Structure 1
Amino acid sequence: MAPLLEVENLTCGYGPVEVLRNVSLSVERGSVLAVLGANGAGKTTLLRTLSGLIRPTAGRIVFDGADVRGVAVEKLVRRGIAHVPEGRGVVAELTVDENLRLGGLWRRDRADAQAALAEVYELFEPLARRRRSVGHQLSGGERQMLSVGRALVARPSLLLLDEPSLGLAPRVTAQILALLAQRCESTGLTVLLVEQNVRSALSIADHGVVLSVGEVAMSAPAARLKDDDDLRHAYLGF
């Protein structure tokens, strides 16, 4: 079976500043790919390009068998790509329930949208207990769950997740990532995870890609990256 996502020789940036150069990677269906690297390596730029926010200057992005380079953001969402950016973008004035429903507003199958909402409450039980609370009343962990949950209400095939551990206690991060891994196993969801917390990312990932100054420095199974001391010291700094 072909990978859900294939990126070939992707080059992009901001105006004249080139951030990614000839980046190639693939993500198998139902798997978790961890994209690792230092600040400034190009991880967030990669996700923004895959979600349509940045137009690449070269290369191909093949999603579910179709070249989607240059496709508009809203069309990518409808095709099954959901992007959870860094910073937990929760609408502070809306309740948990209202925030989650935003993720399914474009969907025509209202019954299935309601079912997707129920599944998110089952996955993230703290949200179910606080469904009438407004966004600014939530803890950091609850806001991150809400951001991810809102993306899942759209029933994506591919979830692009940027730095979910930012500002969170390690225990909360581990809980969220474990639930996502469970979701991948139970539904076939595919996740491309950008994460500074290398140990947390590799604990749930099937494969890892290391970016260094905008280029792929290493691509290997997560277990190999985690267990090989030389690779860890050379590429991941621990």
Structure 2
Amino acid sequence: MAVNPDEPYRKQSGLLEVEDLTAGYGAAPVLHDVRFTVRPGQIVAVLGANGAGKTTLLRALSGLVEADHGRIVFDGEDLRDVKVEQMVRRGIAHVPEGRGVVTELTVDENLRLGGLWRRDRADAARALDEVYDLFPALAQRRASAGHQLSGGERQMLALGRALIGRPRLLLLDEPSLGLAPRITAQILALLRELRDRTGLAVLLVEQNVRSALSVADEGIVLSLGRVVTRNSAADLRDDADLRHAYLGF
């Protein structure tokens, strides 16, 4: 059954717990009383039309947008006063829309940026090797500059750099944007593999609703910055009225 977002929030045990979050830019809130939970090893899709507040939600969770009200709790710790640069040390990695690759640096240099803060140099080196195993295309182009990569390779590089820090929660914004369907399918399949193998939790913003629901365990639907429903991915796929009203298919 779908959860009524207007019901009083019932605290659940999760890796990430968002409680009555209101956030935006200046005096204009974009998000209004957003509430949901992400458990360890769970992929949650954030769905909605353009302008629904999906990207703002990820930016608020990673500290790039200041919350006006509510709580963001990660592994029992309130993140309201945690600085952006400390988020990755807590186990949160944010891969923004547009990928954020440093185009002047090589593939290898970009990946190593993801582990500069780590004190365990041996494990950082192992993490680098693991990323190359996950993305053989990057291993073949490790000496290539970022501007020489295809769109799919840049998305792999941004994701790989995030994984170097061994996050427990991945905030992933529009990974399929501008990519061929085959590359999108590979990236989404990798998310399932990482969830199953490492217990990684993923909060996935994805405009391709069918693709998102094919990989997600649960989904939340935003409209004008408010949660209109949250439910299992299977039930969201099967709810024709909701899909037509909010998801465009």
Shift of 1:230: 2.4
1:173 aligns with 2:184: yes
The one-letter code matched in structure 2 to 1:79 is: R
Give the one of 216, 221, 236 matched to 1:210.
Answer: 221
Give the one of 76, 80, 89 matched to 1:65.
Answer: 76
Q: Distance in 1 between matches of 2:239 and 2:226?
A: 21
Q: Distance in 1 between matches of 2:76 and 2:196?
A: 22
- Map 1:15-94 onto structure 2 (within 5 A): 15-94=26-105
Query: After the TM superposition, which segments of 4 or more aligned residues of structure 1 sit over 6 Å from their partners?
Result: none
Superposition CA RMSD, Å:
1.0
Alignment partner, residue 15 of structure 2: 4
Q: Distance in 2 between matches of 1:50 and 1:31?
A: 17
Alignment partner, residue 184 of structure 1: 195
**Is contact 1:55–1:70 with CA below 8 Å preserved after alignment?**
no
Shift of 1:58: 0.4
The one-letter code matched in structure 2 to 1:191 is: V
Q: Distance in 1 between matches of 2:23 and 2:217?
A: 26
**Structure 2, unpaired ranges of 5+:** 1-11
- SS of the residue corresponding to residue 40 of structure 1 reads coil
Shift of 1:67: 1.0
Give the one of 224, 232, 236 matched to 2:243.
Answer: 232
Q: Distance in 1 between matches of 2:123 and 2:21?
A: 35
Shift of 1:115: 0.6
Shift of 1:71: 1.1
- Aligned-pair identity in percent equals 72
**Structure 1, unpaired ranges of 5+:** none
Worse-matched range after superposition: 181-190 or 227-236: 227-236
Q: Distance in 1 between matches of 2:210 and 2:233?
A: 10
Give the one of 91, 106, 109 matched to 2:117.
Answer: 106
- SS of the residue corresponding to residue 57 of structure 1 reads strand
TM-score of the two chains, using structure 1 as the length reference: 0.98
